Structure 1
Amino acid sequence: MTAGSSIAGLHAVFRRELGSYFTTPLAFVFLAAFAFAAPAFAFNVGRFFDTNRADLAPLFAYLPWLLMILMPALAMRAWAEERDRGTIETLLSLPVPVWAASLGKFLAAWVVAGLALALTFPMWIAVNYLGAPDNMAIAAGYLGAFLLAGAYLAIGQALSATTGNQVVAFVLGVLAAFLLTMAGSPFVTGALSSAVPAWLVEAIAHLSALERFSAFQSGVIGVKDLVYFLSFIAGGTAAAGLLIGASRAGGR
């Protein structure tokens, strides 16, 4: 199969998936939930107006926890729905490489996630109206949130490829995102320090998505942090493709 036909197949899967989000209420419900929940956390829990600061720190402080729930909800249908409806055989019979199908599904979901983040832009406009924020730092925070959403989506879609039950895929996705987020917390490192070597505790702490996202929150875009998120995105997408490819080879 030529590179041109593979790209055409990727584009076809991307359009199919993106269209499927908006031909059902799923995308609209997801976007509405995000548009309501993100400001609600920032205004009520983060006490946005009480900080007397012209920045989006209250929003970014709670985005990881919101993404940890909503991204698995967006990812759970990727392959589990195909298995449940029996359409996965039709998809895999098309002249589309598995990697292209996996990447196409991921990119479609990532676009929806990007649209959800874009719905919080009025808050960015508001802080510019109220004061003089560091817009470069805010832009870095949004980039970090987009990459974090991509990492959660890729992991969620890989887990979706292991089951035909969307609820199971969602629970597994939330659990994986939670573990990835909490990896560097004192609670986890303290619990592990008495059971595993110090070097392993440190290695696990470095896997913390929250720690990497915090750098973007501060306006710092580091190469190591970019590589971290892109590695999870690439690894999750590749894992989904391998799992689906293995099921095709096994006739399932």
Structure 2
Amino acid sequence: MSSESSPSTPSAPSAVWAIFNREFAGYFRTPLAYVFLSVFNAFAISLAFFVGNIYEAGVANLDRFFLYHPWLWAFLAPAAGARLWAEERRQGTIELLLTWPISVWQVAVGKFLAAWLFLATALFITLPIAFTIGYLGDPDVGVIVSGYLGSLLCAGACLGIASIASALTRNQVIAFVTGFLACFLLVLIGYGVFDEFIGGLFSRNIIEEVRRLGLWRNLEPFTLGLVDLRPVAYFLTLSFGGLGLSTIIIERR
């Protein structure tokens, strides 16, 4: 018998691409996708201009715009990621999906990349804000690019957490709430209210190490134009660690 794979079995890139196309197109088959994109942009613009007072800062940069992105992704990434596996479970299509001549890993990667691109679409629709700042002032383009890169990585990290929550249940609402609470905790780490809460329980050294796990703590260097290896590794670990763990959960269920 030949050791070559069956002609009906697609290569790994082809399998991932097929799942990616299926999932990404699925986001736009309902009006919810457009509602999601509109809500993200409405909140991003409102927080930047009305809460962050980006015009009154007197500096041509977007640091106040990116300041609120961890909060946005903590809410919206779980909203987009809740359907990754929970929807398949609810509709009973996950069994059919897993009978295809492709591995669970290929399905998971295709789903994750499609969801990440959907979040990237929401992020890059905000580019007119950057163009406006560029028109009104003389911003450092490198800082803006690194800020968008950091925000995209932050979105992937929250999506990784959301994918775990989605793999654990067939209920999208439960998946969303679980993912949101986990992401919210990571956003809260590093803010004063969190330090006050645990300040009397742990030493300063322990608190400082815990703060390193916060989403904003790792996004902040990007908003200053610094692409450091440590925050990049942090975001990618959450992203692909979540992807890997969710895949293992699906395989064992």
Per the TM superposition, whether the score is higher than 0.5 is: yes
Partner of 1:66: 72
1:52 corresponds in structure 2 to 58
List alignment gaps of at least 5 residues for structure 1: 248-252
Residue 219 (structure 2) aligns with: 213
Instruction: Show CA shifts across 1:72-126 (max 9, x none).
Output: 1000111111111111101111111111111111100111111111111101111
Match of 1:77 in 2: 83
2:239 is aligned to 233
Equivalent residue in structure 2 for 1:243, among 220, 225, 249: 249
Q: Report the CA distance between 1:7 and its aligned residue.
A: 2.0
Q: Of 162, 165, 168, which residue of structure 1 is paired with 2:171?
A: 165
Structure 2 equivalent of residue 87 of structure 1: 93
Moved more, 48-57 or 167-176: 48-57
Using the TM superposition, give the Cα deviation of residue 185 of structure 1 relative to its aligned residue in structure 2, in angstroms: 2.7
Spell out the pairing of 1:1-252 with structure 2 (5 A cutoff): 5-196=11-202, 200-247=206-253
Q: How big is the shift at 1:24?
A: 1.6
> Counterpart of 1:48 in 2: which secondary structure?
coil
1:47, distance to aligned residue in structure 2 (A): 1.5
The Cα shift of 1:200 comes to 4.0
Which runs of no fewer than 5 residues in structure 2 stay unpaired?
none
CA contact (8 A) 2:15 2:102 kept: yes
Q: Describe the SS at the equivalent of 2:30.
A: coil
Q: CA distance change for structure 1 residues 232 and 18 in 2, over 3 Å: closer, same or farther?
A: same
Q: Which residue does 1:250 correspond to in 2?
A: none
Q: How far is the alpha carbon of 1:196 from its aligned partner?
A: 4.2
What TM-score results when the alignment is normalised by the length of structure 2?
Answer: 0.92
Change (3 A) 1:10 1:189: same
Query: How large is the Cα RMSD of the aligned pairs?
Result: 1.8
What is the alpha-carbon distance in structure 2 between the residues aligned to residue 4 and residue 60 of structure 1? 41
SS of 1:24's equivalent in the other structure is coil
Post-superposition offset of 1:19: 1.0
Q: Secondary structure at the match of 1:49?
A: coil
1:187 deviation in Å?
Answer: 2.9
Work out the CA distance in 2 between the residues paired with 1:217 and 1:194. 31
What's the offset of the Cα at 1:133? Answer: 0.6
* TM-score of the two chains, using structure 1 as the length reference: 0.92
